[in-house]
Structure 1
Amino acid sequence: MSKAHHRKKHPEAVRQQLLEVAAKLSLEKGPASVTLDAVSQAAGVSKGGLLHHFPNKLSLLDGLFDDLTEKFDRALAERMRDDPEPKGRFTRAYAAIWFLPEGLSDGEQWKVLTVALISEPHLRERWRQWVDRHLAENVGTDSTLDAMLVRYAVDGLWLADLLGAPVMDAAPRAAMLERLMALSRT
């Protein structure tokens, strides 16, 4: 009998490793480099093992989307819970997580997903649904034009960071965040 039959299996750890490898490959070599063969080889997982978790490239991207939005939802909930002011609470949490370098621990994976969102209509629809759900949940507190303006500014900064231009130093970035946080309260 081979050792494979006696190894302890950790399917969630393997799944997470596959997601991380796919994100790393995409960042280093571009989204086209993310093939099932390349991911399984780089992860040291058999293709059958990869297919057990992700039967195709789109399911791999869906898995990355699910993983990241679950983490984002937890971070949003935590920041919103710690914010005593209801008006603009969702918008401030959204800004803090996206805007601050330490706010989004999976920033590199989000870059990968952002590129995938641009090229994959299915993922764009999933993101639109995510945004719509959160806006509907916070319709009474985050529906002002100012709150919308803050979220669009944050999205613009995220895109600038993704593209690497223009580069913004820490001081103006902090000042911009302070102004946007104030705007979220109006």
Structure 2
Amino acid sequence: MSKAHHRRKQPEAVRQQLLEVAAKLSLEKGPASVTLDAVSQAAGVSKGGLLHHFPNKLSLLDGLFADLTEKLDRALAERMREDPHPKGRFTRAYAAVFFQPEGLQDGDQWKVLTVALISEPHLRERWRQWMERHLAENVGTDSFLDALLVRYAVDGLWLADLLGAPVIDAEARAAMLARLLALSRS
């Protein structure tokens, strides 16, 4: 009997490993390098094992999207719980998580997802729906013009970071964030 029959199965760990390997391949070699064969080989998982979790490349990207947005939802909820001021609460949480490099976990996977969002209409639609859901949930507190301005500024910095724009030193970044957070309270 082979070792596979005696090995303890950990499907969630395998799924997470496949997502991490796909993200790493995409960052190192570009999105075109993310094939089911390449991911299964790099992860040390049989192609059948990969197909069990992700039947095609789009489902792998969908899995990455779902995983990251679940983590993002938790990070936003935590920040919002810590903020005693309702007006602009979602916007401040969004800024804190995306603006500060240490605020956004899984940074490499987010870079991969951002590239996928640009190239995959299906994922762009999922992101639009995610954002619309959060804005609808916070319509009473975050629908004013300055909150919109702050969120777009944060998105711009996120894209600049992704593209490797000139690095903003920590002091300037902190000052920018402080100004944006103040704007979200006005």
Aligned to 1:158: 158
In 2, the alpha carbon distance for the partners of 1:4 and 1:33 equals 28
In structure 2, the residue matched to 1:114 is 114
**Percent identical:** 89
1:116-140 alpha-carbon deviations (Å, 9 max, x no partner): 0000000000000000000000000
CA displacement at 1:178 relative to structure 2: 0.3
CA drift of 1:10 comes to 0.3
**1:12 positional shift:** 0.3
The 3-state SS of whatever aligns with 1:140 is: helix
SS in 2 for 1:102: coil
- Once residues 42 and 71 of structure 2 are traced to their aligned partners in structure 1, the CA distance between those partners, rounded to angstroms, is 24
> How far off is 1:94 after superposition?
0.1
Amino acid at match of 1:115: V
**Structure 2 residue aligned with 1:167:** 167
Shift of 1:5: 1.3
Which shifted more, 110-119 or 100-109?
A: 100-109
Cα shift at 1:172? 0.8
In structure 2, C-alpha distance between the alignment counterparts of 1:25 and 1:59, rounded to whole Å: 16
Aligned equivalent of 2:30: 30
Q: Secondary structure at the match of 1:8?
A: coil
Counterparts of 1:162 and 1:30 in 2: how far apart (Å)?
14
Runs of 4+ in 1 over 3 A off after TM superposition: none
Residues in 2 aligned to 1:140 and 1:55: alpha-carbon distance in whole angstroms: 41
- Map residues 174-185 of structure 1 onto 2, 5 A cutoff: 174-185=174-185
Q: Determine the C-alpha separation between the residues in 2 that align with 1:181 and 1:154.
A: 11
How many angstroms apart in 2 are the aligned matches of 1:44 and 1:146?
49
In the other structure, the counterpart of 2:86 is: 86
Number of residue-to-residue matches in the alignment = 186
Residue 135 of structure 1: aligned partner: 135
**SS of corresponding position for 1:141:** helix
Q: Deviations over 1:17-60 (max 9, x none)?
A: 00000000000000000000000000000000000000000000
> What is the rounded CA distance, in whole Å, between the counterparts of 1:131 and 1:39 in structure 2?
30
- RMSD between superposed Cα atoms in Å: 0.5
Q: Which amino acid aligns with 1:136?
A: A
Question: Structure 2 CA distance, aligned partners of 1:33 and 1:27?
Answer: 9
- Whole-Å Cα distance in 2 between the matches of residues 134 and 57 of structure 1? 27
Equivalent residue letter for 2:107: G
| Shift of residue 4, structure 1, vs aligned partner | 1.3
1:115 match: secondary structure? helix
Distance 1:108 1:7 in 2: 30
Q: TM-score, normalised by structure 1?
A: 0.99
In 2, the alpha carbon distance for the partners of 1:180 and 1:83 equals: 15
Query: What amino acid is aligned across from residue 15 of structure 2 in structure 1?
Result: R
For residue 174 of structure 1, what is the amino acid of its counterpart?
A
